């Protein structure tokens, strides 16, 4: 590359020295008012005749030939093989003859008027075309007058853009460009080099103008794919992958994917419609996706090729899928972070579960109230609970009796809207007591048993057994056990009670359980069927459950069996 450039420079120099400094063209046009010269091109064969005298003639139409010398015209000077004009004027138009021995050379010179409104003459421009993005160089070289130049100015469309008075730069002006840049469309225009020359104490200007045209490289760029020629793409089996191929193209260029195998393409590989947009430089930017769904072993280590092409050339890029090596797919910090989040989440979930267990009763009650749940509407039963208690009241059982007959109805019926069945109140005296009780229990959703040590008297035992039958055999009723006074020994209860699903014991201190909001009532409500009701308004949360005249002695202990 470097060598080739060097050679090029050398060739240009030779060209400049042989053809620019001597005047090979026969018909020449120049502009009035500028220094000008004609120089005979001496070929090697003509070298020997060098000693011959040289004569210059001018033929001016009808006037015939006139021999030229400095005396005939002060603006003209003769130097061996060249004829110089300081400067050339309109009436220098005509044919000029060079004569050396028997060699004659003739030129036809046309001198045009200077354009007063422009810094250059339109018919004196040198055309130059540069492709966009390629190097634009403006060399201001005038080899013949080289040594006389003391200043070079460069104009673009008659506006000065560069100037040099640097001797070295001027000396090298045939290789040292005043402008060197990547060509853009806006660089198009007329570039005029104006050389200022000293001669006999006067200053002359020589103007040399280039008409620079910037070519969009529409028709001659080669299609170029963007990115490396060989791409390895790491994929995970089973995942989808898309390969994106993009290129710079000409108008007529296009890109396509090549993914054919000998036995046809893989069914999970698909080329998508591409997109194509015009760039400001007049090229086309195109891209096309190759989509591989659910990557399998077959897709690995196969070369998917993207090709950009036009009539002149093609460019190809290869994409090869490799299986991603495991273990590297999660960076360490992501892994640790994930673990911490997982641990925190499980702690939070655990806490929620524990809270849910602790506050299960409250949650269920809240849920029932919130949803307005009512499971009593459709079962065709009359009572929410049948209250079973010791009926033959002795003085020491007074509190139990009062609890069953007064407190329970006051709280459950008046405050929470349940309907209880209490033997003393709801059963008419006389009649078949046993049948009556049995049918009342069948009409009830729960049976609340207020236990006492002497509970298992005959009449009550029947109630319990009938309830157990309903609960265990028919599964139509649930049993709620209330342990009113502390009982240390439950052996008097039938074994079948132990078959009930679960049982729990809550110790209830008298003082703490007075409020409707206390655990005792909440647990009781929890065991009672869900029922939609409006609590009576204006009732205080802490209402004395036992009337003030009654005196409660000692502790109240409650256990509920379900």
Ligand X SMILES: *[C@@H]1O[C@H](CO)[C@@H](O)[C@H](O)[C@H]1NC(C)=O
Supply the residues annotated as catalytic.
463
Is 305 one of the binding residues for ligand X (CB under 6 A)? yes
Task: Choose the stretch contacting ligand X; rule: CB under 6 A; options: 232-240, 257-265, 453-461, 470-478.
Answer: 257-265
Among residues 22, 179, 215, 289, the one that binds ligand X under rule CB under 6 A = 289
Tell the smallest beta-carbon distance from residue 344 to ligand X (Å).
Answer: 37
Q: From the CA atom positions of the chain, what is the Rg in Å?
A: 58
Beta strand 202-215 with 125-131 is parallel
Is 153 one of the binding residues for ligand X (CB under 6 A)? yes
Among residues 106, 158, 203, 343, the one that binds ligand X under rule CB under 6 A = 203
Gap between the Cα atoms of 1 and 62, Å rounded: 57
Is 211 one of the binding residues for ligand X (CB under 6 A)? yes
Is 233 one of the binding residues for ligand X (CB under 6 A)? no
Select from 290, 292, 184, 191 the least CA-distant residue to 238.
Answer: 292
Task: Choose the stretch contacting ligand X; rule: CB under 6 A; options: 135-143, 253-261, 403-411, 481-489.
Answer: 253-261
**CA 277, 279, 282, 285 torsion-angle sign:** negative
SS3 of residue 520 by DSSP: helix
User: Which pair of tokens denotes residue 443?
Assistant: 């009409």
Tell the smallest beta-carbon distance from residue 128 to ligand X (Å).
Answer: 9
Element (H, E) at 82: strand 82-85
Is 246 one of the binding residues for ligand X (CB under 6 A)? yes
107-126 footprint of ligand X as x/- string (CB under 6 A): ---------------x--x-
φ/ψ (deg, to 5) at 269: -110, 135
Tell the smallest beta-carbon distance from residue 192 to ligand X (Å).
Answer: 9
Is 258 one of the binding residues for ligand X (CB under 6 A)? yes
Among residues 95, 287, 442, 518, the one that binds ligand X under rule CB under 6 A = 287
SS (H, E, C) 319-358: EEEEECCCCCCCCHHHHHHHHHHHHHHHHHHHHHHHHHHH
Tell the smallest beta-carbon distance from residue 78 to ligand X (Å).
Answer: 23
DSSP for 174-230, written as a single string: TTS-SEEEE--GGG-EEEEEEEEEEETTEEEEEEEEEEEEEEP-TTTPPPEESS-SE
Among residues 80, 110, 180, 303, the one that binds ligand X under rule CB under 6 A = 303
Among residues 55, 318, 476, 522, the one that binds ligand X under rule CB under 6 A = 318
User: Which pair of tokens denotes residue 354?
Assistant: 């524990």
**Residue appearing with tokens 């250059």:** 120
**Residue appearing with tokens 């009723």:** 477
Tell the smallest beta-carbon distance from residue 213 to ligand X (Å).
Answer: 4
Tell the smallest beta-carbon distance from residue 91 to ligand X (Å).
Answer: 19
Gap between the Cα atoms of 434 and 432, Å rounded: 6
Interface contacts to ligand X, rule CB under 6 A: 122, 125, 127, 153, 194, 196, 203-205, 211, 213, 244, 246, 258-260, 287, 289, 303, 305, 318
């Amino acid at each position: 590359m470097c060598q080739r450039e060097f050679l090029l420079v050398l060739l240009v120099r030779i060209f400049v020295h042989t053809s620019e400094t001597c005047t090979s063209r026969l018909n020449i046009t120049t502009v009035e008012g500028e220094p000008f010269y004609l120089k005979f091109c001496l070929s090697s064969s003509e070298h020997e005749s060098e000693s011959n005298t040289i004569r210059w003639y001018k033929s001016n139409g009808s006037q015939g030939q006139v021999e030229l010398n400095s005396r005939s015209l002060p603006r003209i000077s003769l130097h061996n093989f060249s004829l110089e004009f300081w400067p050339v004027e309109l009436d220098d138009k005509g044919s000029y003859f060079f004569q050396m021995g028997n060699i004659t050379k003739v030129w036809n010179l046309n001198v045009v008027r200077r354009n007063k409104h422009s810094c250059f003459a339109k018919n004196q421009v040198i055309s130059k075309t540069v492709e966009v993005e390629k190097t634009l160089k403006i060399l201001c070289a005038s080899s013949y007058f080289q040594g006389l130049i003391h200043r070079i100015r460069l104009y673009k469309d008659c506006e000065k853009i560069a100037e040099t008075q640097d001797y070295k730069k001027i000396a090298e002006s045939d290789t040292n460009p005043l402008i060197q840049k990547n060509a853009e469309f806006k660089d198009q225009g007329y570039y005029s080099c104006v050389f200022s020359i000293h001669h006999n104490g006067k200053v002359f200007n020589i103007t040399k103008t280039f008409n620079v045209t910037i070519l969009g490289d529409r028709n001659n760029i080669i299609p170029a794919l963007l990115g490396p020629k060989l791409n390895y793409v790491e994929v995970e089996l089973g995942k989808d992958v898309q390969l994106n191929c993009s290129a710079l193209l000409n108008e007529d260029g296009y890109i396509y994917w090549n993914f054919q195998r000998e036995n046809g393409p893989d069914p999970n590989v698909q080329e998508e419609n591409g997109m194509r947009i015009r760039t400001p430089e007049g090229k086309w930017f195109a891209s096309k996706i190759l989509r591989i769904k659910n990557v399998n072993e077959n897709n690995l280590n196969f070369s998917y090729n993207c090709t950009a092409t036009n009539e002149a050339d093609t460019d190809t890029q290869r994409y090869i899928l490799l299986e991603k090596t495991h273990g590297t797919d999660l960076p360490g910090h992501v892994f640790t972070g994930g673990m911490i989040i997982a641990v925190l989440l499980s702690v939070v979930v655990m806490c929620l579960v524990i809270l849910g267990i602790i506050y299960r009763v409250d949650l269920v009650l809240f849920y029932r109230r919130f949803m307005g749940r009512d499971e009593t509407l459709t079962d065709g039963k009359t009572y929410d609970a049948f209250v079973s208690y010791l009926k033959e009241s002795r003085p020491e059982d007074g509190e139990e009796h009062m609890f069953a007959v007064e407190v329970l109805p006051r709280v459950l019926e008046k405050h929470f809207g349940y309907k209880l069945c209490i033997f003393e109140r709801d059963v008419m005296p006389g009649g078949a007591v046993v049948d009556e009780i049995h049918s009342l229990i069948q009409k009830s959703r729960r049976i609340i048993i207020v236990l006492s040590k002497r509970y298992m008297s005959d009449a009550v035992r029947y109630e319990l057994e009938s309830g157990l039958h309903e609960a265990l055999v028919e599964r139509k009723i649930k049993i709620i056990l209330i342990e009113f006074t502390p009982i240390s020994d439950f052996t008097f209860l039938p074994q079948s009670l132990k078959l009930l699903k679960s049982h729990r014991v809550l110790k209830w201190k008298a003082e703490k359980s007075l409020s409707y909001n206390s655990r005792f009532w909440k647990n009781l409500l929890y065991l009672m069927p869900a029922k939609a009701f409006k609590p009576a308004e204006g009732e205080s949360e802490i209402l004395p459950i036992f009337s003030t005249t009654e005196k409660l002695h000692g502790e109240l202990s409650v256990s509920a069996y379900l």
